[in-house]
Amino acid sequence: MQLTTRTAGGPVTATYWMDHAWLGTHVEPDVTVEVADGRIAGVRTGVETPPPGATVLRGLTLPGLANAHSHAFHRALRATVQVGSGTFWTWRELMYQVASRLTPDSYFDLARATYAEMALAGITSVGEFHYLHHAPGGTPYANPNAMGEALIAAAAEAGIRITLLDTAYLAAGFGEQPNRHQLRFSDTTADAWAERASLLKGDDHTLIGAAIHSVRAVPAGQLATVAQWAEERNAPLHVHLSEQTAENDACLAAHGRTPTRLLADHGVLGPRTTGIHNTHLTEEDIALLGSSTTGTCMCPTTERDLADGIGPAVALQKAGSPLSLGSDSHAVIDLFEEARAMELNERLRTHIRGHWTAAALLRAASADGHAALGRPDAGVLEPGAPADLTTIALDSVRTAGPVPRLAAETAVFAASAADVRHTVVAGRHIVRDGRHALIEDVPGALAAAVAALHH
């Protein structure tokens, strides 16, 4: 059997042959993908031997993974925040300390290494929830987007796509001025935020989106300004939502309604919007998110690390909210673990197994994640889609044994980021045989970038 479809475009510039590929519903053996102009030009099945000149990808090849929620500078917190005990709020104090030390140069170094770690984990696109805008004390840099542009440049050097979700963060809480740590985050008003964010420019690998940090960080009267900015640009809009019960309680005290209802009342919800975490919701909240097709980005490894709780992902999806996944604070960077954790958390909560199929969890880690980042054509192995691929080994100590037709289940329930062998972005081989092609020593780059912030 051969299924060949071509799209209009330039000549084929690369050909990849895969001994197994996940085609959205099943694992298919002997698949060839042809690339032109950075997109998939043709998909052929039943190609039993690699065509002349083809690059061979052995294992299971998936569409590139989408990390829909990242704070790159949190990578410097790994292990440090595991000392002692506490809550989200005590963790936040340590996070502020690291944030206070970052400059555009040191942020570039850390983000470049962090995004390279993502590439090694099979991630081809990241949603960077960016609120570290200004110098300590809140003074703008000479280039007001020096920090955001450092992130864009870091992603380019690491070889992955980025959706920079420039974040409005204007208050410490309801009716509270930013504290001394948060002055770096604040543009003082949503109009000033919009003026600065409008100066950011995208390119072939970069989309510019918007974010509302949270309902506690953007006064209710200014929520619509951020939402309108995103609407005018048809850009993705993300928001931390009900991650903590304390936020819900404070919102009820200040506005007499839940954070979700407050966002709905100010025009924030909708199909371009994604709520991050969506952990502590009422039934009405779930209905509001689902009926508006507002997305939900679950970040299970961070949510469990911060003792946030388990969000109602099953109910949200049933209500109409698409699910995506993010590594958030980067306690680990592993989208297979995020997908697995979403299912296993639900099993622990309900005492029932099998809430999602492996295919559904892979869609959350790929196509639905890319859609949440403003790339609805990505995350599939189909003609016309971006030529972004991830290949995992099927012969490691974790993945060896199962028959190939169960490779999707193997990927979700057994594999880890350590099993990623190849990552291709726009047809360009970024990770080859487990090594980053652009950054020679990623562990060394991470160690140096993190050490610079702790000394």
- Residues labelled as active-site residues: 277, 328
What span, in angstroms and rounded, lies between the C-alpha atoms of 449 and 93? 20
For residue 98, count other CB atoms closer than 10 A to its CB. 20
**Strand extents, DSSP E, 200-308:** 206-212, 237-241, 273-277, 295-298
Q: What is the full DSSP assignment across 111-166?
A: HHHHHHHHHHTTEEEEEEEE---S-TTSPPPSSTTHHHHHHHHHHHHHT-EEEEEE
Q: Are 122 and 390 in contact (CB under 8 A)?
A: yes
What span, in angstroms and rounded, lies between the C-alpha atoms of 372 and 125? 11
- Residues in the chain, total: 455
Helix, strand, or coil (residue 29): strand
The crossing angle, in degrees rounded to 10, of helices 442-454 and 104-120 is: 140
b/e per residue, 413-436, with b = 16+ CB within 10 A? Answer: bbbbbebbbbbbbbbbbbbeeeeb
State both tokens at 378.
């990505």
Tell me the one-letter amino acid at 355: H
What span, in angstroms and rounded, lies between the C-alpha atoms of 93 and 84? 13
